[in-house]
């Protein structure tokens, strides 16, 4: 019997979907280890979130609720995870591989003297040991990783948007345990969050991505891509060529020096498909390539391809998507 | 201020990765090695800060002798000192092991700011910034795209999902750089010549206060068991693009009914 503890991330009092994915994964692991599923959440004025976590199977919800924790601090939120782990004694700890999870999980792991199975795209447990697979060399290869016997506590960060989030067949008890963290020493602290443009979906969390490359010719073409994004509920991506040309910010970049993504649908528009780009999106479930050059390497990884003028095809796709919804 | 810039020496991003005969590592034949692009942003920001406010920049890496070329590159761009922790004979070391070695050496050097990129483009674990901060008992801020210096503190802009966080951090501390922070410089000819004459300090795990048996072999908590290339994808289904409206309708129907992603 070994317990599974999942770090839950909230923003503005709303639990992030990636955390519910991690909790769903934690629930399935805890069944295999015959252990209990716990969740830990930090913030201010957030104790009302426990029932939602119970619905995903959490039998205990550890809550660190204090004004100091209203905005993220690696030290404060790690203290919450550490206190919950001391109380719950898990053998497996999960946090989604988001900016926050990638901050808290390694700090916690180093405090406990262990390493992290980072950014895993699959995760299972056998004989009490977790094993997973993760991309390396920015997606050019994948490696099977395992937590060794020597690791008393096993920490993993599942990649967002890869594991499903679904409510448990049998809800957990959701017993709330308030954590007393005492006086916190916080030397690095978020003082403000500036949201991106309203309605903008981040490529790292997106289920669908529409990406523009050099072939879109300039920043004046983004509205053509954005219109399709809006119809499909997709995030807007960009190739390195488009970012380096100054057409859009780096947060949109997909590829080896941008974000490594694995959405269910990736539509590459005017992207030639440099090795660095293919590394970053090659694990997408379905890839669509739209390019006027039939020899472009992007067609080698694409599921579907249209050789043609993206300035005619994209508006036609936007129209077709509207009809499909109607 | 004294700056320490940690970097990973990784295969060039152009490299086609091949799996070695052991099945758990890459075939290093024909691989060109580079300072990881994200670590270049860290180095550049450290150099700019030194140029504005004084102090020293020390480049630090963990790796085999080939990484000395990366250290010389850092020296040529303006770093003052270069230190390599030799990885020879250690075998698989996990991220915590690397963090322990780096932290052990950093503790022996004066440091106000410890820098690195938010990730290498090699093993990609993206865990070293927080781990190093924890082991050094320092605060950290990762994914930094913009920095302002205040007396004894920094204000950093940090890239998160769909938003930006403004973080205040007291110094000393650890900063993880990402793309957007700056445009790394090239080495000057004068810098390259000067770098050739500098001595690279080579340290052992013992110098870092780390017993190899506590980080390598069975002591590594996370182990690679099999390295594979991604599975080959099916051949593309091409749709004629000469009638855009027809092509678009056909594509969306395929996405909905065949691929079932809409």
Radius of gyration over alpha carbons of chain A, in Å? 21
Inspect the interface and report whether the beta carbons of A137 and B17 lie closer than 8 Å. Answer: yes
Nearest Cβ partner for B255 among A71, A260, A286: A286
Mean pLDDT, residues B10-15: 93
CA A148 to chain B, closest CA, distance in angstroms equals: 5
CB contact under 8 A, A308 and B160: no
CA A26 remoteness from chain centre: 15
CA pseudo-torsion sign A141, A146, A151, A155: positive
The 3-state secondary structure of A121-132 reads: CEEEEECCEEEE
In chain A, residues with a C-beta closer than 8 Å to the C-beta of B130 are 74, 102-107, 110
What residue in B sits closest to A205 (Cα-Cα)? B161
Chain B residue with Cα closest to A235 = B162
Burial class (CB in 10 A: 0-12, 13-18, 19+), A270: buried
Residue A175 C-alpha, separation from nearest chain B C-alpha, in angstroms: 30
Indicate the angle between helix axes A74-88 and A101-111, nearest 10 degrees: 60
- Name every chain A residue with its beta carbon within 8 A of the beta carbon of B262: 232, 265, 321, 324
Report whether pLDDT(A138) > 70: yes
B125/A191 CB distance under 8 A: no
Q: How many CA atoms lie within 13 A of B235 on its CB side?
A: 2
- The pLDDT assigned to B226 comes to 97
Closest CA to A66 of A39, A87, A45: A45
Q: How much is the pLDDT for A137?
A: 92
* Burial letters A19-47, b for 16+ CB under 10 A, else e: bbbbbbbbbbbbeebebbbbbbbbbeebe
Q: Give A277→chain B minimum CA distance, Å.
A: 10
| Closest Cβ–Cβ partner in B126, B225, B262 for A146 | B225
- Distance between CA atoms of A59 and A70, rounded to whole angstroms? 25
Q: B232's torsion region: left (phi>0), alpha (psi -120 to 50) or beta?
A: beta
Cβ-defined contact of B162 to A195 (cutoff 8 Å): yes
Nearest to A252 by CA among A217, A213, A310: A213
Cβ neighbors of B165 (< 8 A, separation 6 or more) are A71, A72, A190, A192, A193, A194, B157, B158
Nearest CB neighbour to B13, from listed A119, A149, A256? A256
**A305 vs B contacts (CB less than 8 Å):** 236-239
**What is the per-residue pLDDT for A26?**
98
Bridge partners (DSSP) of residue A95 are A7
Judging contacts by C-beta atoms under 8 Å, the chain B residues touching residue A190 are 158, 165-167
Q: In three state form, how does the secondary structure of chain B look?
A: CEEEEEECEEECCCCCCCECCCCCCECCCCCCEEECHHHHHHHHHHHHHHHHHCCEEEEEEEECCCHHHHHHHHHHHCCCEEEEEECCCCCCECHHHHHHHHHHHHCCCCCCEEEEECCCCCCCCCCHHHHHHHHHCCCEEEEEEEEEEECCEEEEEEEECCEEEEEEEECCEEEEECCCCCCCCCCCHHHHHHHHHCCEEEECHHHHCCCHHHCEHHHCCEEEEEEECCCCCCCCEEEECCCHHHHHHHHHHHHHHHCCCC
> H-helix or E-strand containing A236?
strand A235-238
A84 and A28 Cβ atoms separated by less than 8 Å: no
Nearest beta carbon to residue B261 from set A97, A265, A321:
A265
Q: Is the pLDDT of residue A238 over 70?
A: yes
How many other CB atoms are there within 10 angstroms of residue A197's CB atom?
7
Contact assignment for B14 to A324 by CB distance below 8 Å: no
* Average pLDDT, rounded, for chain B: 96
Contacting residues of B for A251, CB less than 8 Å apart: 159, 180
What is the reported pLDDT for A198?
63
Q: What is the pLDDT of residues A2-20, one digit of tens each?
A: 999 999 999 999 999 999 9
Kind and range of the H or E run holding A276: helix A275-281
Name the residue facing A138 among B121, B223, B237 (closest C-beta): B121
CA distance A184 to chain B (A): 13
Across the interface, of B97, B139, B224, the residue whose CB is closest to A187 is B139
Partner residue opposite A250 with nearest CB, options B142, B180, B248:
B180
Torsion of CA B20, B26, B28, B33, to 10 degrees: 180
What pLDDT sits at residue A199?
Answer: 67
- Total Cβ atoms within 10 A of residue B31: 16
Q: Say which residue the tokens 């309708």 belong to.
A: B249
Interface predicted TM-score (ipTM): 0.95
Q: What does the block give as tokens for B71?
A: 């250290």
Most confident among A27-31, A45-49, B162-166 (mean pLDDT): A27-31
Phi and psi for A305 in degrees, rounded to 5? -140, 145
pTM of the model: 0.94
Percent of residues, chain B, with pLDDT higher than 90: 92
**Spatial distance between the Cα atoms of B68 and B61, rounded to a whole number of angstroms:** 9
Q: What is the mean pLDDT of residues B203-222?
A: 94
* Mean pLDDT, chain A, integer: 95
Q: What confidence category does residue A21 fall into, taking pLDDT thresholds of 50, 70 and 90?
A: very high
The CA-atom distances, in angstroms, between A74 and each of A151, A182, B13, B171 are 23, 16, 31, 15
A225: phi then psi, degrees, rounded to nearest 5: -75, -40
> How many of the other CB atoms lie within 10 Å of CB of A10?
17
Indicate the residue of B122, B161, B221 with minimum beta-carbon distance to A115.
B221
DSSP state of A150: T
pLDDT in tens, A285-309: 999 999 999 999 999 999 999 999 9
Locate the chain B residue with the closest alpha carbon to A196.
B163
Q: Tens digits of per-residue pLDDT, A270-289? A: 999 999 999 899 989 999 99
What is the percent of chain A where pLDDT is above 70? Answer: 99
Q: Which residues of A touch B103 (CB under 8 A)?
A: none
The 3-state DSSP class for residue A103 equals helix
SS3 A277: helix
Contact A196/B139, CB-based, under 8 Å? no
Whether residue B167 and residue A190 make contact (CB cut-off 8 A), yes or no, is: yes
B200 bridge partner residues: B82
H or E element that contains A182: none
Q: For residue A286, which residues of chain B lie inside 8 Å, CB to CB?
A: 255, 259, 261
- B214 to chain A: nearest residue by CA? A150
Hey, is A41 helix, strand or coil?
A: strand
- pLDDT category at B121 given cuts 50, 70, 90 is confident
Under the banding of pLDDT at 50, 70 and 90, the label for residue B231 is confident
The B222-228 sheet, strands edge to edge: A122-126, A129-136, A141-147, B222-228
pLDDT of residue A149: 86
Which chain B residues touch A290 with a CB distance below 8 Å?
241
Which residues of B are less than 8 Å from A275 in CB distance? 13-14, 16
Query: Shortest Cα distance from A50 to chain B (angstroms)?
Result: 23
Selection from B196, B194, B216, B187 nearest residue B86 by Cα: B216
Using CA atoms, how far apart are residues B167 and A303, in angstroms rounded to an integer?
42
d(CA B51, CA B101) in angstroms, rounded, equals: 29
- Say whether pLDDT at A197 is over 90: no
Q: Read off the pLDDT of each residue in A146-162 and give the average, rounded to a whole number.
A: 92
- Per-residue pLDDT, A1: 64
Nearest CA in chain B to A291: B241
- The per-residue pLDDT for range B38-97, each reduced to its tens digit, is 999 999 999 999 999 999 999 999 999 999 999 999 999 999 999 999 999 998 899 999
Q: Is the dihedral of CA B47, B53, B54, B56 positive or negative?
A: negative
Question: What is the distance between the alpha carbons of residues B87 and A15, in angstroms, rounded to a whole number?
Answer: 42
Cβ neighbors of A230 (< 8 A, separation 6 or more) are: none
A71 pLDDT more than 80:
yes
Chain B residues whose beta carbon lies within 8 Å of the beta carbon of residue A103: 130, 140, 142
Contacts of B172 in chain A (CB under 8 A): none
Residue A255 C-alpha, separation from nearest chain B C-alpha, in angstroms:
10
Residue recorded with tokens 């590159």: B73
* A147: enclosing H helix or E strand: strand A141-147
Residue range B243-260, pLDDT digits in tens: 999 999 999 999 999 999
- Residue A83 above 70 pLDDT? yes
């Amino acid at each position: 019997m070994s317990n599974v503890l999942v770090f839950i991330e909230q923003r503005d009092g709303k639990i992030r979907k990636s955390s519910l994915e991690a909790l769903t994964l934690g629930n399935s692991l805890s069944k295999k280890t015959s252990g209990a599923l716990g969740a830990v959440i930090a913030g201010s004025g957030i104790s009302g979130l426990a029932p939602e976590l119970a619905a995903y199977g959490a039998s205990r919800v550890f809550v660190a609720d204090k004004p100091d924790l209203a905005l993220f601090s690696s030290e404060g939120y790690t203290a919450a995870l550490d206190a919950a782990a001391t109380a719950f004694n898990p053998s497996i700890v999960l946090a989604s591989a988001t900016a926050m999870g990638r901050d808290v999980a390694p700090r916690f792991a180093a405090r406990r003297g262990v390493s992290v199975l980072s950014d895993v795209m699959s995760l299972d447990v056998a004989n009490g040991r977790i094993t997973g697979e993760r991309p390396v060399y920015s997606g050019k290869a994948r490696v099977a990783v395992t937590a060794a016997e020597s690791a008393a506590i096993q920490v993993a960060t599942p990649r967002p948007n890869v594991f499903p989030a679904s409510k448990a067949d049998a809800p957990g008890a959701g017993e709330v345990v308030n954590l007393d963290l005492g006086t916190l020493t916080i030397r690095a602290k978020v003082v403000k969050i500036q949201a991106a443009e309203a309605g903008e979906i981040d490529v790292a969390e997106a289920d669908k991505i529409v990406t523009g490359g050099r072939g879109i010719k300039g920043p004046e073409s983004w509205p053509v891509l954005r219109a399709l994004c809006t119809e499909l509920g997709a995030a807007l991506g960009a190739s390195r060529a488009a970012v380096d040309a100054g057409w859009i910010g780096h947060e949109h970049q997909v590829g080896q020096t941008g974000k490594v993504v694995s959405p269910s649908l990736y539509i590459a528009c005017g992207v030639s498909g440099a090795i660095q780009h293919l590394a970053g999106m090659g694990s997408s479930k379905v890839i669509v390539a739209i390019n006027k050059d039939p020899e472009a390497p992007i067609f080698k990884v694409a599921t579907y391809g249209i050789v043609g003028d993206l300035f005619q095809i994209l508006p036609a796709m936007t129209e077709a998507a509207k009809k499909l919804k109607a | 201020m004294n700056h320490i810039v940690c970097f990973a020496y990784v295969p060039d991003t152009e490299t086609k990765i091949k799996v070695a005969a052991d099945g758990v590592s890459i075939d290093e034949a024909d691989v060109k090695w580079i300072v990881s692009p994200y670590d270049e942003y860290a180095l550049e920001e450290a150099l700019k800060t030194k140029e504005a406010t004084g102090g020293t920049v020390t480049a630090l890496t963990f790796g085999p002798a080939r990484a000395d070329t990366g250290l010389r590159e850092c020296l040529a761009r303006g770093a003052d000192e270069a230190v390599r922790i030799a990885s020879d004979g250690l075998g698989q070391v996990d991220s915590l092991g690397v963090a322990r070695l780096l932290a052990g050496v950093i503790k022996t050097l004066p440091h106000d700011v410890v820098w690195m990129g938010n990730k290498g483009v090699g093993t990609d674990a993206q865990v070293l910034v927080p781990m190093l901060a924890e082991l050094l008992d320092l605060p950290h801020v990762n994914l930094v795209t913009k920095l302002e210096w205040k007396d004894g503190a920094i204000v950093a802009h940090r890239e998160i999902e769909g938003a930006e966080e403004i973080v205040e951090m007291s110094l000393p501390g650890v900063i993880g750089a990402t793309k957007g922070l700056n445009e790394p410089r090239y080495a000057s000819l004068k810098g390259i010549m000067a770098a050739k004459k500098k001595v690279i300090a080579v340290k052992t795990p013992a110098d870092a206060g780390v017993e190899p048996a506590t980080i390598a072999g069975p002591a590594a908590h996370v182990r690679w068991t099999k390295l594979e290339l991604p599975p080959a994808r099916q051949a593309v289904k091409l749709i004629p693009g000469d009638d855009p409206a027809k092509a678009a309708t056909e594509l969306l129907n395929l996405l909905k009914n065949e691929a079932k992603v809409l």
